[in-house]
């Protein structure tokens, strides 16, 4: 969570570290809820947050950082690709009653 001098939340992200069975039990980091206030987009805050998260994943021994992004968020897809992420999987969800 990033807040402004007046205490308003202007950006968030959630990091979850997951042990895995794949990749010989390697740990991975799931990156979620990446949000930057629309008025602050384009100033490097989101990029700095992602770079910090990737570095933190490495410090904690993760070998992979993964995230999902809604199919309709094409600007977000380009943002992640500029930071070195590559599309690798199709995702599926099941909404429970």
pLDDT of residue 90: 87
Closest by CA position to 53, among listed 40, 42, 44, 62: 62
Q: CA-CA distance, 34 to 6, in Å (whole number)?
A: 21
Mean pLDDT of the chain, nearest integer:
93
Asked if the structure places residue 10 within a domain, the reply is yes
Length of the chain: 97
Which range marks the domain in which residue 32 is found?
A: 2-82
**Is residue 36 a part of any domain in this protein?**
yes
Structural domain contains residue 43: yes
pLDDT at site 16:
97
Domain CATH for 6: 3.40.630.30
pLDDT band at 12 (very low <50, low <70, confident <90, very high): very high
For tokens 């500029």, name the residue. Answer: 82
Q: How many CB atoms neighbour CB 62 within 10 A?
A: 20
pLDDT tens digits, one per residue of 64-81: 999 999 999 999 999 999
DSSP line for 1-70:
-EE-TTS-EEEEEEEEEE--SHHHH--EEEEEEEEE-GGGTTSSHHHHHHHHHHHHHHHTT-SEEEE---
pLDDT-based confidence at residue 91 (cuts at 50, 70, 90): confident
């Amino acid at each position: 969570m990033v807040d402004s001098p007046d205490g308003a939340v202007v950006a968030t992200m959630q990091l979850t570290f997951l042990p895995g069975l794949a990749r010989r039990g390697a740990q991975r980091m799931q990156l979620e809820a990446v949000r930057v206030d629309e008025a602050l987009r384009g100033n490097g805050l989101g990029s700095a947050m992602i770079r910090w998260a990737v570095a933190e994943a490495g410090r904690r021994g993760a070998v992979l950082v993964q995230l999902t992004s809604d199919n309709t968020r094409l600007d977000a897809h380009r943002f992640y690709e500029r930071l070195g992420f590559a599309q690798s999987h199709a995702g599926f969800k099941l909404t429970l009653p």
